[in-house]
Structures are given as structure tokens and as C-alpha cells.
Structure 1
């Protein structure tokens, strides 16, 4: 049985329900690690709307299209 994901991050609200219903706890943990790497390596600022949009696209690619 797949464990449900608890979402405590800067995840856009529009994705929360889909992530909760479709993504395993393990996949979410992998994404959180990848997200941290991206923020650090690309020096993303989560106060910047363009940076948040970039991270959102990376999340979609990683969780749903990867």
C-alpha cells in the first residue's frame, strides 16, 4: 500500500491534491532532495516569481513526466 505524502513546502496549491493522491512518500522525499539541490546550485530565490515557476516546472518534470 502506498503511503500518502504530507506536503509541507512551497508547493503551489494547485498541485497539492494531485501530489497527495498520486505520489508516494519515497518519491516525494526524492523530490525534496532534488529541490534542495536545484535551489542551491541555481541560487534560486523563492521570493522571486520566476524562480518559483522554474522550480514548479522542475517538480512537474520530476514527479509526473520523469
Structure 2
């Protein structure tokens, strides 16, 4: 049975995550307040960030940058901005 959360990112009730995907207090906050849909959006943005900025997940500073961007995206409503990236036109 799926659980419903009020998603902070989407500002609506939506299907919650099945389990905590991120460690620690931040992971608990994500589990309690972020929907599957918003998490999927973040995963797409995360992939773009890693690729476009050539982040190395072995580098502590790069992981901190990614975590900061994640918090800003999921909880502060800020979009991920990548310099030089132009979304494809429809």
C-alpha cells in the first residue's frame, strides 16, 4: 500500500517514497516531505549536474555541492541552473 505525503516541492498531496533513500536527518526529511514525482525530477536534475559540471562523487566538495543543490531544489523551490545549458526547444 502506498503512502501519501504533502510534497514540499509540488505543494500537493502525492504518493510518498517507499523507503528512505538518503541517509541521516536529511534523508528522514526527504522521506517525510517529498513525493516520488518530485524525487524523480530531482534525479533527472542531479544527473544533469553531475554530467555538465563533471562532478566526481569521490570528491567531498562535489558531494556537498550536490547536496546543497538537492536541498535548494526539493525544499526551497529553486531550480537547478547550469551555466551554458540551453533546454531543447519544443
TM-score higher than 0.5: yes
TM range (shorter): 0.7 to 0.9
Structure exhibiting the larger radius of gyration computed from Cα positions: 2
List alignment gaps of at least 5 residues for structure 2: 5-13, 78-90
TM-align CA RMSD: 1.4
Output the TM-score relative to the length of structure 2. Answer: 0.65
What residue ranges of structure 1 are gaps of 5+ in the alignment? Answer: none
More helix by share: 1
Q: How big is each residue's C-alpha offset from its partner over 1:22-57, in whole Å with a ceiling of 9 and x where there is no partner?
A: 001100000000000000000000000000000000
| Higher normalized strand content (fraction of residues) | 2
Which consecutive segments of 4 or more residues in structure 1 shift more than 2 A? Answer: 11-14
